[in-house]
Amino acid sequence: MSGHPSFRWASLSLGILLLLWAALACAEAQAGAQELTIRAVPTLRFETDTLAVTGIGSVTVHFVNDDTGVPHNFAAYTDSSAAEPLASGSIGPVCTAPCSNDVQFALPAPGDYFFRCDVHPTIMTGTFRVLAPPATTTPPSGGQTPVGTTPTDTGIAAGPTTPTGAALPITGQGPGDQSSQTWLVAAPLAAAGALLCGLGLRRLALSRRGRDRSAETPSPGS
Ligand SMILES: [Cu+2]
């Protein structure tokens, strides 16, 4: 029993660390400038007609013109009328391949927008999609509560202080979880075993009964 609580603490703090790491990674991905690459390729087309970005912040679109000798650009607009730029700086300069330039702008609210090449506005078009960031972002409470529990090394000190309230139900749940997990596996097996066993016994009984019956009623031939 003495080994169990430390194991539980280890797995609990590991879980918290993983959550923190995921939250940090998630926050970093959302806050940081995102990058995309789009290529203009022979002949007179973009290599894709859909660009997707998730979230908040800004985006840098690396526009690469591989359509040798042909001038193109990348330009993002609010819609296919191309009347309004999607954001300040969302219309890149035209350059003749081979060439490239970066188009950087702030991301608007999630939604489907429009991009095109201004030189070939009817042929080279696409959807610029801004996706909503995941619902589970960085909960301020969730980010703070584990702070006390994060120092796994000082678990002895941290254990009784902050998470006493949390520790009690968890220690209570620990063995319960383990045994319930064992039961999750054991119960169906036992049930299946019992069922098979019961069927086997029944079949045995039936066959015996059948044999008894045939023994009781002698065959009419003899
Ligand atoms: Cu073009």
> Which residues lie at CB < 5 A from ion ligand 1?
72, 117, 119-120, 124
For residue range 134-181, what is the model confidence (pLDDT) as tens digits? 876 555 554 444 444 444 444 344 334 433 333 333 333 444 444 444
Residue type, 102: D
Span from the CA of 73 to the centroid of ligand 1 (angstroms): 6
The residues with which 113 forms a beta bridge, in sequence order, are 128
Span from the CA of 76 to the centroid of ligand 1 (angstroms): 13
CA distances 49 to 45, 113, 136, 189, Å, are: 9, 12, 29, 53
State both tokens at 208: 């015996």
**Are the C-beta atoms of 113 and 127 separated by less than 8 Å?**
yes
For residue range 2-48, what is the model confidence (pLDDT) as tens digits? 445 666 666 656 555 555 565 555 454 545 679 999 999 999 999 99
For residue range 89-106, what is the model confidence (pLDDT) as tens digits? 999 999 999 999 999 999
Q: The whole model's pTM is what?
A: 0.50
Residue type, 27: A
Token pair 């081979």 is found at 98
Span from the CA of 101 to the centroid of ligand 1 (angstroms): 14
pLDDT band at 210 (very low <50, low <70, confident <90, very high): very low
The percent of the chain in helix, strand and coil, each rounded to the nearest 5, is 45, 25, 35
